[in-house]
Amino acid sequence: MIRKIALKNIGYKPLNTVLCLALLTFSVSIITLIVILQKDIEEKFQNDLRDIDLVMGAKGSPLQLVLSALYHVDAPTGNIKLAEAKKIMNSPIVEQAIPLAYGDSYNGYRILGTEQAYLQKYDAELEAGNWFDKDMEAILGANVAVASGLKIGDTFVGTHGDVEGGHLHEDHKYTVEGILRSNHSVIDNLVLTNIPSVWRVHSSQQDGGSKEPSHEEHHHDEEHHESHQHDHPESHEPGHDNHEEKIIADSMDITAVLMNFKTKMALLNMPRTINEQTSMQAVNPGMEINRLFSLIGIGATTLRMIAGGIMLISGFSIFFILYNRMEDRKYELALLRAVGYRPVRLLYLLLWEGIILSISGYFLGVFLSRAGLWFINKKASADFHMVFSSYYHSSEAWIFLLTIGVGILATLLPAIRAMRMNVSRVLAEN
């Protein structure tokens, strides 16, 4: 009966109830969204890190290099000479070095020239078809395959740059050779091919003749790199297009190299060597990402505090509403005592009202957060190729406890007042 009265009471003053519920719902949904987004982003970034010790690329913003070479969400800092990179890559302390060449995209998905080792690093498995082994063969990440609808054997052309609607490399068609199984890593959103394919697409525009390996090796010339503002492995200078299949690899540009070292010592020394003695920069991606997270963390903490503030206000509003109604309700509380309810039952009655409100607010909030997540996913999947999971996170349990706690705390004082009420005096007031 007490629970029924509590429930009916909440429905009896709908405006009060709506205000309390709205405040609770908003605070719960904001906190929930922040927790989910932060957790998902951090997990995704950590997952794609794959223990890579060092990212080497053109000088520029270290964070930009990491975001572009590891996560493919930013433009590259520029290009580096393969010959120069090779000197580092072939060093005996390097355990593994995976070169990357990119700059083109297909339907907004990046085309990445790399080696088989990259696919192994990300545990790629084929859903259909074969690995690429010849030039101009490509395999599609799972999301790319779904979004583009391309099948094995289909051909497509890349777009210059990362955005759709750029210049099309129409005379160089890629053939889909394989499609990858989704493994929720960055490769889901990539078109993968070998590095010579990337060179080939751009060599038609390249002033190839001016480059000669030995010449490059001696030079480390800065002026070439500084001019490379565009996200493109090759220079834009118009050149002869009907060249032979003779590409002198060492004279070519790549975009970045992902490296692992044999010893921790090398990891400490190598970045300095590269940064000081070459035209390239080396970045420890783990450190950059931690720095990024600590920056995001400031924003997330602020939002959390705002949401906490809203929750505090909703707690106060529950408190004020219940406390104000005590004057109106004292006769019905006295009546309950007169018909035999013990004082502690009145305490339960009011606590129940707070608990029902906070539980409803919590579930409405979780529901609203999922609606928000759905909306964010619609936008984020188009802009960042990122999909957040809307499954129930275990960390949402403490939000539940927090909400119930707020409900109970807000109700406690009116409830104690109800419990200690002098029934005889109230009934004599007539």
323 or 331, CB closer to other proteins? 331
Rounded least distance, CB 8 to other proteins, Å:
4
CB-based contacts of 286-293 (< 8 A; 24+ apart in sequence): 286/49, 288/62, 288/63, 288/66, 289/45, 289/46, 289/49, 289/66, 291/63, 292/45, 292/63, 293/42, 293/45
Which of residues 156, 293, 341, 400 is near other proteins by CB under 8 A? 341
Which residue, 26 or 348, has its beta carbon nearer to other proteins?
Answer: 348
Options 120, 227, 269, 424; binder of other proteins; rule CB under 8 A: 424
Total of residues contacting other proteins (CB under 8 A): 25
Question: What is the spatial distance between Cα 363 and Cα 49, in angstroms, rounded to a whole number?
Answer: 35
| Distance (Å) of CA 101 to CA 74, 116, 199, 202, 295 | 14, 13, 8, 11, 29
Least spacing, CB of residue 349 vs other proteins, in Å? 10
Sole window of 6-14, 164-172, 240-248, 401-409 interacting with other proteins (rule: CB under 8 A): 6-14
Q: Between 298 and 339, whose beta carbon lies closer to other proteins?
A: 339
DSSP per-residue string spanning 336-372: HHHTT--HHHHHHHHHHHHHHHHHHHHHHHHHHHHHH
Residue 191 CA: distances (Å) to CA of 102, 123, 155, 168: 10, 15, 12, 16
Interatomic CA distance for residues 158 and 173, integer angstroms: 8
* By the rule CB under 8 A, 423 interacts with other proteins: yes
Q: Is 345 in the site for other proteins (CB under 8 A)?
A: yes
| Residues listed for the chain | 430
Nearer to other proteins, 4 or 218 (CB): 4
Q: Are strands 94-106 and 256-261 parallel, antiparallel or unpaired?
A: antiparallel
Nearer to other proteins, 149 or 340 (CB): 340
Binding residue (CB under 8 A) for other proteins from 172, 225, 337, 385: 337
DSSP three-state, residue 428: helix
- Among residues 16, 96, 102, the alpha carbon closest in space to that of 67 is found at 102
Selected range binding other proteins among 104-112, 225-233, 329-337, 403-411, rule: CB under 8 A: 329-337
Query: Is residue 416 a contact residue for other proteins (CB under 8 A)?
Result: no
Radius of gyration, CA atoms only, the chain:
31
CB 367 → other proteins: shortest distance, Å?
26
Strand-pair partners of 382 = none
Query: Helix, strand, coil proportions of the chain in percent (round to 5)?
Result: 55, 15, 25
DSSP helix/strand/coil, 191: strand
Residue 356 binding other proteins, by CB under 8 A: no
Query: In this complex, which beta carbon is closest to other proteins, that of residue 222 or of residue 332?
Result: 332
Q: How far is the CB of 5 from other proteins (least distance, A)?
A: 6
Query: Number of helices (H) and strands (E), helices first, in the chain?
Result: 14, 12
Q: How far is the CB of 11 from other proteins (least distance, A)?
A: 7
Q: Shortest distance, CB of residue 416 to other proteins, whole angstroms? A: 16
Distance CA 189, CA 110 (A): 7
Please list, residue by residue across 387-415, b when 16 or more beta carbons sit within 10 angstroms of its beta carbon and e when fewer do. Answer: bbebeeeeebeebbebbbebbbebbbebb
Verify binding: residue 331, other proteins, rule CB under 8 A.
Answer: yes
Residue 171 CB: number of other CB atoms within 10 A? 9
Binder to other proteins among 336, 355, 406, 410 (CB under 8 A)? 336
If the CB atoms of residues 4 and 246 are measured against other proteins, the closer one turns out to be 4
Of 30 and 334, CB closest to other proteins: 334
CA triple 64-233-181, angle to 5 deg: 75
Q: Which stretch binds other proteins (CB under 8 A): 5-13, 15-23, 118-126, 295-303?
A: 5-13
Helices 285-338 and 396-419 meet at what angle, rounded to 10? 30
**Which parts of 9-68 interact with other proteins (CB under 8 A)?**
9, 11-12
Would you count residue 327 as binding other proteins (CB under 8 A)? no
Stretch that binds other proteins, among 42-50, 60-68, 245-253, 340-348 (CB under 8 A): 340-348
Is 421 a residue that touches other proteins (CB under 8 A)?
no
Residue selected from 22, 306, 335, 412 as contacting other proteins according to rule CB under 8 A: 335
**Quick check: 318 binds other proteins (CB under 8 A)?**
no
Interface residues with other proteins (CB under 8 A) are 1, 4-5, 8-9, 11-12, 331-332, 334-343, 345, 423-424, 427-428, 430
